[in-house]
Structure 1
């Protein structure tokens, strides 16, 4: 695996190293040793799968409050998404900055999202599946979020959202 640091401290784009032959290719997509050797969390408490019917579906921007803050490893296994993260750690040099990374079933990239980040994505095509590993089990009482269009962040989404949950449209303005 190839780990590329992003401009947000602690977040990485992860590309698989392909070993190809006439059958196709083989690649390792997860190894705790590779994460731990870089000081990244390798704990997996849960794996989630999100299916999204319609291009333009927007999920996010979600985070978990302490002590249930979580790391995520996000991969698009069918279709294409713009995966967006925001650094919400006040002590971080990249506080309130965001990045978007295109994850597709073709590029097989993953995005490592540290604790203290908000995370969301928008589908770029119909019929998208996203799989992500998280370091904490689901805890509804620890849920938090920021609006996808909060001016505090100025996220540029590629499409006008076609589908969103009511909860995601009603997060309050970010006060940090």
Structure 2
């Protein structure tokens, strides 16, 4: 599995090896050794997994979790194709206001890691696109916020051949600047503290060597 850093500090892209044969193919979208080497710590304890299906032209996001508690995510496209977008909305981050995107499809089977406090969005590029997530925290509706994915100040690549399909919540979301003015954005230093605390305590599971 190959890994490289995205333009948003702490966000990572992973590309697994694909093993095709006459039956179909086999891949491993998440591999602990590769993740730990790229991230510097093992993956968080998974509190919840999510699965969404979207038709072509659906745009979801920009979503983020109030921090604390904050939520880290590991995301891949299990079916179809999507443009996955990560946005740095952490006040004080060295990449504050930047975004990056990853094409997720059934050829390269890429995945992304989104650290605590960053915003997430994606554009479904074909019908029946399935996105799968591993989350560090259980979903609590009151903790979930949204920024306008169509905010011209951000200039996200959400254009599709048809009118973007958004939920009422996402269509009514505030702009990045307005959320900043209202103090709704996560603090980078606090996000980093929570991120470090997510690393599993490997020492507790280490088997001592025989005397």
| TM-score relative to the length of structure 1 | 0.89
Q: Which runs of 5 or more residues in structure 1 are unaligned?
A: none
Residue 134, structure 1, aligned to residue 135, structure 2: yes
Residue 99 (structure 1) shift: 1.2
Report the structure number with the largest CA radius of gyration.
2
Structure 2 counterparts to residues 1-176 of structure 1, below 5 A = 1-18=1-18, 26-37=26-37, 38-40=39-41, 42-43=43-44, 44-52=46-54, 54-159=55-160, 160-175=162-177, 176=180
The alignment yields a C-alpha RMSD, in angstroms, of 1.9
Mark the CA change 1:154 to 1:20 in structure 2 (over 3 Å): closer, same or farther: closer
Residue 19 (structure 1) shift: 5.3
Higher-strand-fraction structure: 1
Mark the CA change 1:92 to 1:109 in structure 2 (over 3 Å): closer, same or farther: same
SS in structure 2 of the partner of residue 141 of structure 1: helix
Mark the CA change 1:90 to 1:162 in structure 2 (over 3 Å): closer, same or farther: closer
SS in structure 1 of the partner of residue 57 of structure 2: coil
Residue 35 (structure 1) shift: 2.8
| TM-score relative to the length of structure 2 | 0.75
Residue 22 (structure 1) shift: 6.7
The range that moved more, 138-147 or 160-169, is: 160-169
Structure 2 Cα separation of the partners of residues 24 and 79 of structure 1: 16
Residue 112 (structure 1) shift: 0.9
Residue 85 (structure 1) shift: 1.1
Mark the CA change 1:82 to 1:20 in structure 2 (over 3 Å): closer, same or farther: closer
Count of aligned positions? 175
Residue 69 (structure 1) shift: 1.0
Higher-helix-fraction structure: 2
Residue deviations 1:32-72, cap 9 Å, x none?
A: 444334325612111110011x2101111100011221111
